[in-house]
Structures are given as C-alpha cells and as structure tokens.
Structure 1
C-alpha cells in the first residue's frame, strides 16, 4: 500500500482466541491487492487475537467504499470460518 494516500483508517477485530483470529486473517489475505483500485488500497495484519485491516484512500468517498467492502469481507470470513453467524 502506498503511503501517499490522503486518508486512512484501521479496522480492528478481536476474537476469543488467536486461532480464530488466524482463521479470519488467513481467509482475508487472498483479497489483499485483488479489490484495490486506483483510489484505494488495503492491508491485513494479525496481532495475537486481533485482525487489523488498514484502508488508505485518495478521497473520502473511496475510503468509505473501502471500509464497506472490507467490513463485508470480514463478516463473510467470520461466518464461513465458524459455520455459524457472526461471533
């Protein structure tokens, strides 16, 4: 992700265990770079029981779109990984 983007946010999701965070993070990793566009980009990292998604964008509209997209991807990764609804 380039550091020259005007806007940035970090979404942080905590899980009951490091294993659960690893499962969600691993599910998100293939999407990094795939849904980026000319106006926004994202990275995914994991620290213990937390998964962090950093979204950077050139403008606020692109930032909001990135936040919405990544929030939905996290929700899907949580559902698929648990076999149930969101935890």
Structure 2
C-alpha cells in the first residue's frame, strides 16, 4: 500500500470491506477532506455542509466480517494525514 510506504508503515487507521464493492475507508479528521480536488473514483463521506454519510467501523477485536482493520488505530487522536492521502490517491488514480 502506497500510504504505508509514504508513512514508514504507520498511515493511521484504515478499514477495509471484504464484500460488495470492497471499499477502503481512510479515517481522517472531521472536515479535513472537504474542498479538496479528489480524483475520480474517490468517494468522500461527510465532506460538506448538509451532507450525510457514515463510515462503518469494525470492533478492535473479534469477528466483524465483512469489515476489518487494515491498519488499526494506534493512539487516540491519530488519523490518516489528508494531504498525504490526497497525493497518494492522485498518484494512483490520476
């Protein structure tokens, strides 16, 4: 994963979905994804005023299929850095 390489193995909390569209959710600080020019193929949840969305979060332990932590949270308040994520998404998706 590019985010893992960019961050030295600790990109922040990332959730993956094992069925359906196999979504990947990068947990970023609230509001930090709004107003960014995300490439086609990236869906931003709760990024604007009046928008409603949700991010499914699995339990830290136990069975939570179809959700799993690709990178579990390590410390309180640690998120994926939104500008690193934007650059990685742009590099991969154009």
| TM-score past 0.5 threshold | no
Task: Considering Cα pairs closer than 8 Å and 6+ residues apart, tell me whether 1 or 2 has the greater RCO.
Answer: 2
Q: TM-score range by the shorter chain?
A: under 0.3
With the length of structure 2 as denominator, give the TM-score of the two structures. Answer: 0.26
Please report the TM-score for the alignment, with normalisation by the length of structure 1: 0.27
**Bigger proportion of residues as strand:** 1
